[in-house]
Amino acid sequence: MKKKNIFVIIIICAAIIGVIIYNNSKPKEQVDFIQGKESGQTSDIATIDWQGYVKGMDLAKSQNKHVFLYFHADWCTYCKKLKATTLKNRAVLSYLKDNFVSITVDTDKDQQLATQWKVKGLPTMWFLKPDNSKISSIPGFIDAERFLNVLKYIHTASYDKMNFQDFIKTI
């Protein structure tokens, strides 16, 4: 083998060993983040108690809870990312379970509901009052920290008193 080839192999091996040592020296949360997992993420054991549309709307009225209405599809990349990160975050899961009725709508299976709610892109998340009247929607992906702030804004009915930017200043 030529000296040049041996030198390239040594550099590659050194780089691989360096990455391994670097990742092993990091706390688990940092390694998870580097590998694409968000801190606070849970296992599949803790999940959202998803409801169908009709049952969920009825539950929201009877339990006097706000509605989190989530439109998605299996082929949607950002829906998968939202499900794998934001909707697996422990704080988000806990807040949704305690304060919201969560409804899931697969737009491929229920195109009529997607049309009724004027869903133009995925994911789309609507928030409703306990009487099922509309508050607002969020199109696209949102990270766990920001989503949790939105949930708090909706749950506390701060939308009646101030805009979201002012609410963020109070927390």
Chain segment 51-88, per-residue pLDDT in tens: 999 999 999 999 999 999 999 999 999 999 999 999 99
Q: Is the same domain home to 144 and 102?
A: yes
| Sheet containing 134-139: order of strands | 100-106, 66-72, 124-128, 134-139
Note whether residue 69 is domain-resident.
yes
Residue 94 structural domain: 53-170
Token pair of 149 as six digits: 């702030």
Domain count, the chain: 2
pTM attached to this predicted model: 0.73
The confidence score (pLDDT) of residue 7 equals 66
The confidence score (pLDDT) of residue 97 equals 96
The confidence score (pLDDT) of residue 81 equals 97
Average pLDDT, consecutive stretches of 10 residues, N- to C-terminus, the chain (171 residues)? 68 66 55 42 66 97 98 97 96 97 97 96 97 96 97 97 95 89
Note whether residue 44 is domain-resident.
no
Collapsing DSSP to helix, strand or coil, 80 comes out as helix
Q: Which helix (H) or strand (E) holds 138?
A: strand 134-139
The confidence score (pLDDT) of residue 42 equals 44
Closest CA to 155 of 87, 42, 63, 53: 63
Size of the chain in residues: 171
Q: Is the same domain home to 136 and 83?
A: yes
The confidence score (pLDDT) of residue 45 equals 38
Note whether residue 11 is domain-resident.
yes
How crowded is residue 32: how many other Cβ atoms within 10 Å of its Cβ? 15
Note whether residue 156 is domain-resident.
yes
Dist CA 105 CA 113 (whole Å)? 8
Q: Is the same domain home to 90 and 7?
A: no
Q: Is the same domain home to 72 and 124?
A: yes
The confidence score (pLDDT) of residue 62 equals 97
The confidence score (pLDDT) of residue 6 equals 74
* β-strands 100-106, 66-72 pairing: parallel
By the 8 A CB rule, do 129 and 143 touch? no
Q: Is the same domain home to 60 and 14?
A: no
The confidence score (pLDDT) of residue 125 equals 98
Q: Is the same domain home to 69 and 148?
A: yes
The confidence score (pLDDT) of residue 34 equals 39
Q: Is the same domain home to 29 and 67?
A: no
The confidence score (pLDDT) of residue 52 equals 96
Tokens 């829906």, located at residue? 79
At what angle are helices 90-99 and 144-155 packed, to 10 degrees?
A: 20
Q: Is the same domain home to 7 and 84?
A: no
Q: Is the same domain home to 73 and 8?
A: no
CATH number of the structural domain spanning residue 94? 3.40.30.10
By the 8 A CB rule, do 109 and 76 touch? no
